[in-house]
């Protein structure tokens, strides 16, 4: 079966390593329903980062088809991929990846700049998103004035700013302590309850279990359910 | 769409400014090449322009409608005698003439002595045509000229050498042993001959002016080889030159290379041509510094791109198109070199102002030089920022994000 929202069929990714060709993804099939909270669980070297790059349209597969929000992601040039990243995907990274010279508002505004939103609208939406993640009184702060958890919430606000089809989180709690990680996860739950689609990539089973569905990846092959010990 | 582009542009500008301000020392060192290049161009252009203006002004002061006749003569006839001077004075286009001759004599007073005083013998017309030359006292007049009076005008150098601490007016001094009375003092700032002295590389202690008739006696010559001719109508200078050449051909029996009639205006033109050539040459040399500065910017931008790989990857992940990344880094390079350009303009103007103050050259804001300096630096930014910006835009977002 396939759907228009998110569908991957036979995704293969190969890299040329000198004379050898290494196959990192060996035919991935994956469907995600709108409003789903999915975890992709896998150890390092399992190909989950590569899969994330393809889901995030940072990279294109060697073979296979990928349909996102009714659009076939294949043979697109850099500019078109940038458009899709701008409109369809909200990235959340392990190391937050905030720009240190910008304050919280400006960081959240960044994807809106590339989406071509006017300055006034940018500020309005950035404030709204920061309020949404509970940083009402931290808006003018710079990343180095914020705790790890606060920084990750700024990054989540940034991912939400363009109102993307899909939130794509790569080890979102990897750089946080247990308690803060739990807070971030509860924010994810709230977002899920609001109807957002979330794809979370992690190697941590405990974190993965927060999702409504877990798939495992091992040696470039995907399987439903936990297959990870 | 235009609004969106403008928004993007302003965003890039503010990002670049934040990055540039964030590393002041690095910015300074990076832009130093541009600063030096632009400052050199501005200073050279302003000073050369000022020197040209100063010289032009002095040539103009020497006279519109003034011809200078330089006689080299023949073996048996070295200069012009009195009858021939009268013949020239009788020409239709000639309003007046001032024969002149110069030489170096020894001068002495009771307590002072110099063997390097320059004597200028001039006709009375010379002083009538250069009224500002006289600072105090009276000029040489026609009676002095007719009577070969032993009167003279002294300049500051002579006053300093021979009349130190005294007012030279009315005092006597001995030139080659002959007694002269000082009747006037020369205003050096208006002394056009000072300029020619500099050109001739004179090392004179001072200058005295006297009637040319007196100077002929003093210097022991019977003929005059230099004279200024005042034309009746400056618009008919060309006709006057022709008339003069006809008369002089007659006097020297049509021998070649016996005289030269110089038009002051054409000298100004020739000089302007010369200085503009000199200026292009100097600016060309200074531009080399700009190129070196541009390489500095390029190097810096390449380092920046490498350092900010993660940032570039992040921006791409957030939806930046390659062209937007390229624009961001290009703008940063241009801002860097523009900062260099603007600082360079300020430094260049300051330096040239100080040089002009120190050397009595006219200082004027050369807007062309400023425009050139600023636009040159912007061009350097674009040219040398292009490759690093291109490199940044081509970075693979995955490679960039790998470091996470």
Closest CA in chain A for residue B397: A58
pLDDT (mean) for A29-51: 89
Chosen domain end from B217, B234, B251: B234
What range does the domain containing A219 cover?
34-59+83-224
- Please report, for chain B, how many H helices and E strands are present, in that order: 14, 10
pLDDT (mean) for B90-118: 82
Tell whether B104 and B41 lie within a shared domain: no
**In this complex, is the C-beta atom of A60 within 8 Å of any C-beta atom belonging to chain B?**
no
pLDDT at B404: 43
Determine the distance in angstroms separating the CA of A228 from the nearest CA of chain B, rounded to an integer: 24
Tell whether B98 and B206 lie within a shared domain: yes
Residue A149 is part of a domain; what is its CATH number? 3.40.50.300
pLDDT (tens digit per residue) in B295-344: 888 888 888 888 888 888 889 889 888 888 898 899 988 998 899 999 99
Chain centroid, CA B184 distance in Å: 31
Chosen domain end from B213, B234, B255: B234
pLDDT at B138: 87
Q: What CA–CA distance (Å, rounded) separates A96 from A91?
A: 10
Asked if A97 and B310 come within 8 Å (Cβ–Cβ), the reply is yes
Determine the distance in angstroms separating the CA of A78 from the nearest CA of chain B, rounded to an integer: 7
Q: What CA–CA distance (Å, rounded) separates B272 from B55?
A: 9
Q: What percent of chain B has a predicted confidence (pLDDT) above 70?
A: 93
B377 band by pLDDT with thresholds 50, 70 and 90: confident
Whether A207 maps to a domain, the answer reads yes
**Chain A residues touching residue B3 (CB < 8 angstroms):** 118
Tell whether B333 and B213 lie within a shared domain: no
What range does the domain containing B157 cover?
94-234
Domain count along chain A: 1
**Chain B residues touching residue A85 (CB < 8 angstroms):** 316-319
pLDDT at A8: 92
Q: Which of B282, B373, B380 is nearest to B39 (CA)?
A: B373
Whether A14 maps to a domain, the answer reads no
* Residue B75 predicted with pLDDT over 90: no
β-partners of residue A169 are: A92, A200
**Chain A residues touching residue B19 (CB < 8 angstroms):** 101
Tell whether B380 and B276 lie within a shared domain: yes
**In this complex, is the C-beta atom of A218 within 8 Å of any C-beta atom belonging to chain B?**
no
Determine the distance in angstroms separating the CA of B315 from the nearest CA of chain A, rounded to an integer: 8
Considering only CB atoms, A101 lies closest to which of B22, B316, B321, namely B22
pLDDT at A229: 45
Tell whether B99 and B191 lie within a shared domain: yes
Q: Is B342 helix (H, G, I), strand (E, B) or coil?
A: helix
Residue of B317, B397, B402 best to disrupt the A interface, most CBs of A under 10 A: B317
Angle among Cα B145, B147, B152 to the nearest 5 degrees reads 55
Contacts of residue B163, defined as CB under 8 A and 6 or more positions apart, other chains included, come to: B109, B112, B154, B171, B173
A109 band by pLDDT with thresholds 50, 70 and 90: very high
Angle among Cα B288, B293, B296 to the nearest 5 degrees reads 135
Tell whether B301 and B186 lie within a shared domain: no
Q: What CA–CA distance (Å, rounded) separates A73 from B302?
A: 32
Asked if B319 and A114 come within 8 Å (Cβ–Cβ), the reply is yes
- DSSP state letter for B190: G
**Chain A residues touching residue B18 (CB < 8 angstroms):** 101-102
Whether A17 maps to a domain, the answer reads no
Considering only CB atoms, B320 lies closest to which of A82, A97, A162, namely A82
Lowest mean pLDDT among A55-69, B231-245, B287-301, B366-380: B231-245
Whether B240 maps to a domain, the answer reads no
Whether A27 maps to a domain, the answer reads no
Whether A74 maps to a domain, the answer reads no
* Residue B202 predicted with pLDDT over 60: no
Asked if B319 and A82 come within 8 Å (Cβ–Cβ), the reply is yes
Whether B146 maps to a domain, the answer reads yes
Contacts of residue B211, defined as CB under 8 A and 6 or more positions apart, other chains included, come to: B121, B122, B123, B124, B140, B144, B145, B148, B149, B151
pLDDT at B358: 85
pLDDT at A228: 47
Whether B314 maps to a domain, the answer reads yes
Domain count along chain B: 2
pLDDT (tens digit per residue) in A127-161: 999 998 888 899 999 999 999 999 999 999 999 99
Interface list for A 74-133 with B (CB within 8 A): 78-79, 82-83, 85-87, 89, 91, 93-95, 97, 99, 101-102, 110-111, 113-116, 118-119
Asked if A79 and B19 come within 8 Å (Cβ–Cβ), the reply is no
ipTM of model: 0.88
pLDDT at B204: 67
Whether B152 maps to a domain, the answer reads yes
């Amino acid at each position: 079966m396939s759907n228009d929202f998110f569908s991957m069929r036979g995704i293969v990714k190969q890299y040329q390593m000198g004379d050898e060709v290494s196959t990192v993804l060996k035919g991935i099939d994956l469907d995600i329903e709108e409003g789903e909270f999915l975890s992709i669980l896998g150890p390092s070297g399992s190909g989950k980062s590569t899969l994330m790059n393809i889901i995030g349209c940072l990279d294109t597969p060697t073979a296979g088809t990928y349909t996102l929000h009714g659009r076939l992601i294949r043979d697109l040039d850099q500019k078109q991929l940038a458009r899709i990243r701008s409109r369809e995907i909200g990235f959340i990274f392990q190391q937050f990846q905030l720009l240190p010279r910008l304050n919280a508002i400006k960081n959240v505004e960044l994807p809106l700049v590339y989406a071509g939103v006017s300055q006034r609208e940018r500020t309005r939406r950035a404030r709204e998103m920061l309020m949404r993640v509970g940083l009402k009184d931290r808006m003018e702060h710079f990343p180095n004035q914020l705790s790890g958890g606060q920084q990750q919430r700024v990054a989540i606000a940034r991912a939400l700013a363009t109102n993307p089809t899909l939130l794509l989180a790569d080890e979102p709690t990897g750089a946080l302590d247990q308690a803060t990680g739990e807070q971030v996860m509860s924010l994810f739950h709230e977002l899920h309850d609001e109807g957002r689609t979330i794809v979370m990539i992690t190697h941590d089973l405990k974190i993965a279990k927060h999702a409504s569905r877990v798939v495992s990846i091992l040696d470039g092959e995907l399987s439903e359910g936990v297959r990870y010990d | 769409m235009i609004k969106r582009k403008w928004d993007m542009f302003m965003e890039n500008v503010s990002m670049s400014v934040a990055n540039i301000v964030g590393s002041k020392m690095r910015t300074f060192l990076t832009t130093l090449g541009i600063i030096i290049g632009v400052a050199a161009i501005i200073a050279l252009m302003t000073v050369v322009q000022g020197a040209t203006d100063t010289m032009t002004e002095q040539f103009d002061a020497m006279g519109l409608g003034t011809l200078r006749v330089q006689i080299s003569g023949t073996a048996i006839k070295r200069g012009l005698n009195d009858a021939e001077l009268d013949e020239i004075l009788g020409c239709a286009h000639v309003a007046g003439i001032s024969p002149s001759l110069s030489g170096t004599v020894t001068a002495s007073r009771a307590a002072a002595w110099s063997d390097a005083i320059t004597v200028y013998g001039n006709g009375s017309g010379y002083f009538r045509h250069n009224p500002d030359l006289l600072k105090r006292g009276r000029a040489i007049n026609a009676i002095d000229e007719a009577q070969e009076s032993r009167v003279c005008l002294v300049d500051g150098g002579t006053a300093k050498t021979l009349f130190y601490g005294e007012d030279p007016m009315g005092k006597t001094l001995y030139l080659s042993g002959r007694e002269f009375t000082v009747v006037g003092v020369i205003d050096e700032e208006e002394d056009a001959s000072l300029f020619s002295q500099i050109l001739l590389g004179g090392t004179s202690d001072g200058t005295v002016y006297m009637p040319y008739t007196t100077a002929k006696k003093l210097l022991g010559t019977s003929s005059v080889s230099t004279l200024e001719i005042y034309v009746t109508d400056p618009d008919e200078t060309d006709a006057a030159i022709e008339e003069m050449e006809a008369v002089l051909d007659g006097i020297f029996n049509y021998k070649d290379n016996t005289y030269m009639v110089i038009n002051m205006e054409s000298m100004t033109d020739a000089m302007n041509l010369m200085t503009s050539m000199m200026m292009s040459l100097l600016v060309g040399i200074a531009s080399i510094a700009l190129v070196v500065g541009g390489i500095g910017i390029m190097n810096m931008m390449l380092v920046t791109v490498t350092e900010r790989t993660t940032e570039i990857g992040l921006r791409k992940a957030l939806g930046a198109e390659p062209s937007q990344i390229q624009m961001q880094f290009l703008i940063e390079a241009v801002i860097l070199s523009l900062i260099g350009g603007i600082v360079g303009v300020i430094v260049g103007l300051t330096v040239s102002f100080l040089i002009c103050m120190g050397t009595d050259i006219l200082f004027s804001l050369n807007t062309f030089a400023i425009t050139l300096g600023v636009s040159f630096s912007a061009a350097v930014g674009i040219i040398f920022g292009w490759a690093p910006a291109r490199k940044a835009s081509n970075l693979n977002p995955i490679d960039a994000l790998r470091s996470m």
